[in-house]
Structure 1
Amino acid sequence: MPIIIGIMKPRLYKNLLRVLYILSIAVYIYFLTDGWSFYETPYQERPHMEQRYRNLRPAGFRGHTFGVIGSLMMIFMLLYSARKRMERFQKAGNLSHWLDIHIFFGIMGPLLIVLHTSFKVQGLVAVSFWSMVAVALSGVFGRYLYIQIPRNILGNELSTDELEKINKEMADRLKTDFNLDDELLSIVEESAAPRLAPDAGIAKMLLLLLVNDLSLRFGLRKIPADLAARLEMPPKLLHLLWRRARQRGLLRMRTMLANQVHQLFHYWHVVHKPFAVIMYVIMVIHIAVDVLMGYRWIF
């Protein structure tokens, strides 16, 4: 799938990804609400709900289906690691697209496993379940760290020289497209994305990056009125200048953060990988034990 979508235009790809999430979550909400009367029933009373019990318990038709699909999604998550590490797959589509699919499976897989358990998490399965939750939650933080590392269109990390070249090109385009001198460009960029001292703490930098990311995405940070008056530009052109200046400011901060983010990425892997290993090992044990006890594919 990432190989196919790798040739799509970025906007089309993002829209398709949104549609995939919306449809998946809508279907999930339907099954959750449809079975809620069973899920909220105490364990000892569930067998009395004969039809629902046969269908929604982990070994039931729907419960088993959730388990199979959820497990397959968890297995498909490993394709991202293969794409990233195995030389033969290095050109198999955009790496960031593979990561997006990895994250999608990492969200929907655990959610389906929750329905498979029918909210009954006990014994060894509980260890796997909470490991799965830890993997999913740490994955959200890992995704944020990932996007802080500037990359090219194929998802590969940019070198220091490439970053300096891009920074200079962005500054030159700002000056040329909006007729700005060095002094005015500096004022605009300082207002759009404040500079940080090189010795600023990693926590402060990440927090400022998060604030700037959110404000850029939702347009929360507006251009100061006095600066807008000084620039004397039409509103649309002024908005474009402001957005580009903010993008360059974020790139500048991400460049400054590169070494610290790599260190955090290392510590993140220390947390993320062990939980993932525990989750997969217990998942295999769980499936093997069920097969040995006589449970079979029911489709």
Structure 2
Amino acid sequence: MMQPVKNTHTKTQRDWFKIGLKIVYVISLSIYAYYLIDGLGFYQLPFQERPHHEAYRNLRSAGLRGHGFGIIGSLMMTLMLLYSVRKRTNWFGKWGAISRWLDVHIYLGIMGPLLVILHTTFKLNGIVAVSFWSMIAVSGSGILGRYLYLQIPRNRRGDELSLKEIESLDQEFSEELSRELGLKNGKLARLQEIAGVQNVNKDAGLFSLLMGMLRFDLFSFFRKYRQQRMLRKEFQLDSQQLKAAIEILHRKQLLERRILLLNHVQRLFHYWHVFHKPFAILMFLIMILHIGVAVWLGYTWIF
């Protein structure tokens, strides 16, 4: 039996920001689901029959609720621009890490378009259709962009690490395994072999690497369970040692896969910006035009 673990650095600090954001997501989506279900009878009617619905004056785009959805959704989408300001300037630099700003940016980018969809009452034609599909393209590509962003190793403030820093971090994980479990080099290599840390095809193409990363993320729970059984059987680790080993191995395996993907992801990230930005610009231009025409026709602040 190996020496007991005296101290472990694998315990993840509780991230209250992310916990709070998850709660906000649950509350926001629950409220959205309520309003969607409440107005479903109206939204499902053919357009020509909607004026006869009892809630028409409230749910139509110019109604109290419909107009409110449009105002709040547009405001959320406008606030998304603050992330670009934070990323490109020193403004708001003391107001949290850029990764936090990105999390809020994504939240606004999801909820804003969802509210705008209710504002349109699912009536998509003319220039509104162009704006809608631009909005969907921006929102959908934003989710992909977030996933690509996560594949690039960063520090706690969200700054991208250099390859030298990444390799140094990988070495730290190996040293941490050796220190926490009291393993010699041979045992450490065997531990990593069993856990599949180096089980990565370095000659794989971009698509195969991305699919491998996706599988790695989706089946993380099952992989950890399998690794626990293998490590407990061969190394006779106690529960505390086992937990420490699995956590460090997971981070090491994730980092090594991201090292392989680094150059590919950086190139994809560039192409993603080329796709994401034009649709975002088009979406905001049409939104400004739409608001301008609405005000010109007399549809001003309804509250």
TM over 0.5: yes
Q: Which moved more, 1:107-116 or 1:239-248?
A: 239-248
Q: Does 1:174 align with 2:177?
A: yes
Deviates most, 174-183 or 283-292: 174-183
**In 2, distance between residues paired with 1:35 and 1:62?**
10
**Residue 220 (structure 1) shift:** 5.8
CA apart distance, 1:255: 1.8
Q: Is this contact kept in 1: 2:124–2:132, CA < 8 A?
A: yes
Give the whole-Å Cα distance in 1 for the aligned partners of 2:64 and 2:140: 29
| Offset at residue 235 of structure 1 (A) | 3.3
1:204 and 2:208 matched: yes
* AA in 1 matched with 2:218: L
What does the per-residue CA deviation read over 1:241-295, in whole Å, with 9 as the maximum and x for residues that have no partner? Answer: 1221121111112122211110000111111111111111111111111111111
Deviation at 1:27, TM superposition (A): 0.4
Residue 193, structure 1, aligned to residue 182, structure 2: no
Alignment of 1:24-35 (within 5 A): 24-35=28-39
- Aligned partner of 1:36 in structure 2 is 40
* Partner of residue 126 from structure 2, selected from 113, 123, 126: 123
Check if 1:147 corresponds to 2:150. yes
2:137 corresponds to 1:134: yes
SS at match of 1:88: coil
What is the root-mean-square deviation of aligned Cα atoms in Å? 1.7
1:91-110 counterparts in 2 under 5 A? 91-110=94-113
* Range moving further from structure 2, 177-186 or 39-48: 177-186
- Who is 2:268 aligned against? 264
Structure 1 residue 13 and structure 2 residue 34: aligned? Answer: no
Aligned-pair identity in percent equals: 48
| C-alpha contact 2:232 2:238 (8 A) present in aligned 1 | no
Distance 1:223 1:210, change over 3 A: same
How many residue pairs are counted as aligned between the two chains? Answer: 290
Summarize the Cα distance change of 1:10–1:226 in structure 2 as closer, same or farther, 3 Å threshold: closer
Q: Where does structure 2 lack aligned partners over 5 or more consecutive residues?
A: 1-12
Which of 28, 48, 51 is residue 52 of structure 2 equivalent to?
A: 48
Q: Any idea what the Cα deviations from partners look like across 1:200-227, whole Å, max 9, x if unmatched? A: 2111111111111222356665117454
Secondary structure in structure 1 of the residue aligned to 2:17: helix
Distance 1:219 1:35 in 2: 43
Of stretches 226-235 and 22-31 in structure 1, the one that deviates more from structure 2 is: 226-235
**Structure 1: runs of 5+ lacking an equivalent:** 1-8
